[in-house]
Structure 1
Amino acid sequence: MDRKIHLEIIYENNLDTDKFARMLDNKSQSYKFYWLEAILRLIIEMEGDLSFDQIINEMICDAWHTVTHYHLRLGPTVNGKSENFLEHAINVLNEHARDELSQNPSREELLLAINKNDDKLKNDKYRLTDYVPYKLLYPFLDDEGLTYLRKDQRGRLIAYMEQLTDEENLFYRIIDGSGLWKKVRVNNNWRKLIFDNYSVITSWIKYNKVQFLQDRNPGVPGIIYKISPESDNVRRLEKARDLWKTAVQITGQPIRDIYTGEKLNVERFDLDHFVPRSYIANDELWNLTPMSKNLNSSKNNKLPPWDKYFKGFAEYQFYLYQLIFAIEDTHGNTAFQNKFEKCRRYNLNSIWASESLYIKGNTEEQFINILEHNLKPVYDAAKLQGYDLWRL
């Protein structure tokens, strides 16, 4: 598949977009994506030069949810440990600012926490500036510049860049300074192109980043949904909630919480994802169970112990399954199934569930075996990805 960026607008200064696209070549870590995205986002918001420190703070904000909420790895591991300085910086921040950050912190909250804990992040920040700010410019450099880059002669490379003019169309120059206070000065011609094509360029970076992260997190579903904070309006739980409420109306039996056995208020209950939604990235009916709101907040982003809770979860899933196919009205149709069909569009997209689980005729043993066969590998994969166990 072609991963290059194609822009239809032709600028009088003849910017070479092929060189721009090649900036994302030869990546062993995810730094290039986050560094470039941070620069683009910041130049849209502000004028003037950008310090290394500003850019790295933006990188931490951008990757925070991906690392802490979705447990994705941003690069390869060495000797079984994370060698990714961006990932490590986020984990350090999360450790020291846990009590200061909300469950879904905004960029402003994260920036405040970064500034407050800046001394603890300094080492990772410095390491993030070792190579990426310079190597990102590789496609734009001539033989002289490449010589300095290959020999890691940063001072000479910076002096060389200072002699260049905007007409030579280097994407940005690095302005000499002390450590994290070195600055990036984006070429005015490239700045204009980015302003005019911002959505196209950022979508192209996102596409490449998703490809990279999927390779580093094989088997993890829904990577594309895990590179930015999830909006509540993407969740599709209304029809599934209505299905459980209809179960109460039809049977006269209350719904209950499988974790505590307690009866739930039909107007005030949550639907819990047995395997956290942040891992499974969907609202499939076979992974949902009624739960009290307070307890759901406590469980949050954790896995329930399988041996303790799966049997009760599966039996309650079968209870719902029976209602779908067992209660018939005077016309011979399944009254409850009408509600189920409305739910199917949003909450039943897995082929195995449609073709094997939610079909008429399964015994309880068959139903539970099919559910376990398909859910247990997902559960185990989430556990391997670093999801903690929840203790009631």
Structure 2
Amino acid sequence: MQLPHSKELPIGKLAGSFGSTSATYKFYWLLAVIELVEERNNKILKRDLFASMIANAWYTVNYFHVSFGKQDLIQKAVEDILKIENLTVDIKKEKLTQKLQDTKNKATATILSHFNKNVPHWFLSPWFPKSKIETHTAQKKRIYESSQKLENDCLYALYEDYIIINPIWTGYLQTNAKIIKDFCYWNLSLFLQSRNPNVPAIPNKLIRPILRSSLSRQRSQYWDIVFAELGTIDCIFTNTRLGKDNFVLDHFVPHAFVSHNLLWNLIPIEKHFNTIKSDRLPLLEKHFDKFFALQKTAYEIMRHNPKSQKLLEDYLTIFPELENTGDFRYDKFKESLQPLISIAGNNGFSYLIG
């Protein structure tokens, strides 16, 4: 993906900001700059930019548990602020941003101000590259001084507590804001995928979805029919007897990890326990056999039902041969789920107790 061309501006230098990236701060810094420029701000407080960086990374870190790398300051900041401020994972972005901008908590303020040590000036490195004999301290001082003169058509001028967008960039940033943000997210997804090679659907985990997709189709066209055939089903977690009107569909491997609603990962469970389970991981040694048995029973009931044929295609992602053989294999299913659950556990998802 490329940034929109401009004959007047050094677009290559803006793209070059992502050329040598070992952490996520460059992506989130530019996203924050664009968001605030969209609000017609040219003079932007660094505190507001740092708050926006945290808010944009919030859901990716705290809900999806995507790893940014052990040394990444943004991931650690997001995790620490969650505890320090006693916030919820699902706090709205606007409310979180405002809270961070207005915080009186010294610990939170210290975390935010720490980004000032490196982020604002190193982002301008493509405009002001380091010379062979120059120390990092000397380069930082030079970047501040040169940017205030808007040398090399740099993106912004740097001051202690704020930045001022170079006027020659303002129109470009505002006109192309969506494309530039897409460019950031595209590069961010590549960066994070390289650090989470076995985590599915990284691009879907960069922005909090407005609404999660409904499971009404999977319920009405599949599990309701299974209940009509069986009468009742025992919840695989609580052994509660479930009827057609007192169950909810749950993701066996949490939706926050897999980011899909494929039928092979959905199971009817007891409503109250669904709240308790939340995004916790099942214990394969305790829950898989019951999960598999119910999945297989449901599949055998629905295999020849004309209403379910489109939905049944979901199973082909783990049983490519199923359509021809009808062989719903225990070992194949378990081998597909085992690494997903292990990776999710390693990424910070907790397990059901006992």
1:52 to 2:57 alignment: no
**CA 1:143/1:216 → structure 2, altered by over 3 Å: closer, same or farther?**
closer
Match of 2:154 among 154, 167, 170: 170
SS in 2 for 1:139: coil
- Amino acid corresponding to residue 340 of structure 1 in structure 2: S
Q: What's the counterpart of residue 87 of structure 1?
A: 75
| Higher deviation after alignment, 57-66 or 316-325 | 316-325
1:290 to 2:268 alignment: yes
**CA 1:143/1:121 → structure 2, altered by over 3 Å: closer, same or farther?**
closer
Percent identity among equivalent residues? 24
Please report the RMSD computed on the Cα atoms of aligned residues, expressed in angstroms.
2.5
Contact 1:148–1:154 (8 Å) recurs in 2: no
SS in 1 for 2:191: helix
Q: What's the counterpart of residue 330 of structure 1?
A: none
Contact 1:239–1:342 (8 Å) recurs in 2: no
TM-score (normalised: structure 2): 0.90
1: distance between equivalents of 2:153 and 2:333?
58
**Structure 2 unaligned residues grouped into runs of 5+:** none
- Amino acid corresponding to residue 138 of structure 1 in structure 2: S
2: distance between equivalents of 1:86 and 1:377?
27
Match of 1:124 among 108, 111, 119: 111
Which residues in structure 2 correspond to 1:1-392 (within 5 Å)?
3-7=1-5, 10=6, 14-75=8-69, 77=70, 83-98=71-86, 100-101=87-88, 103-114=89-100, 115-116=102-103, 118-141=105-128, 150-164=136-150, 169-175=153-159, 177=160, 182-233=161-212, 235=213, 237-242=215-220, 243-249=222-228, 251=229, 253-325=231-303, 334=304, 337-344=305-312, 348=314, 350-356=316-322, 360-362=325-327, 367-391=329-353
Deviation of 1:157 after TM superposition, in Å, equals: 3.3
- Amino acid corresponding to residue 273 of structure 1 in structure 2: H
Contact 1:93–1:113 (8 Å) recurs in 2: no
- Amino acid corresponding to residue 351 of structure 2 in structure 1: L
- Amino acid corresponding to residue 5 of structure 1 in structure 2: L
2: distance between equivalents of 1:277 and 1:147?
51
- Amino acid corresponding to residue 249 of structure 2 in structure 1: L
In the comparison of the two structures, how many residue pairs are matched?
352
**CA 1:149/1:124 → structure 2, altered by over 3 Å: closer, same or farther?**
farther
Deviation of 1:151 after TM superposition, in Å, equals: 4.0
* Greater RCO structure (CA 8 Å; 6+ sep): 2
Contact 1:93–1:117 (8 Å) recurs in 2: no
TM-score (normalised: structure 1): 0.82
1: distance between equivalents of 2:147 and 2:198?
43
- Amino acid corresponding to residue 318 of structure 1 in structure 2: K
Deviation of 1:273 after TM superposition, in Å, equals: 0.8
Contact 1:135–1:149 (8 Å) recurs in 2: no
SS in 1 for 2:126: helix
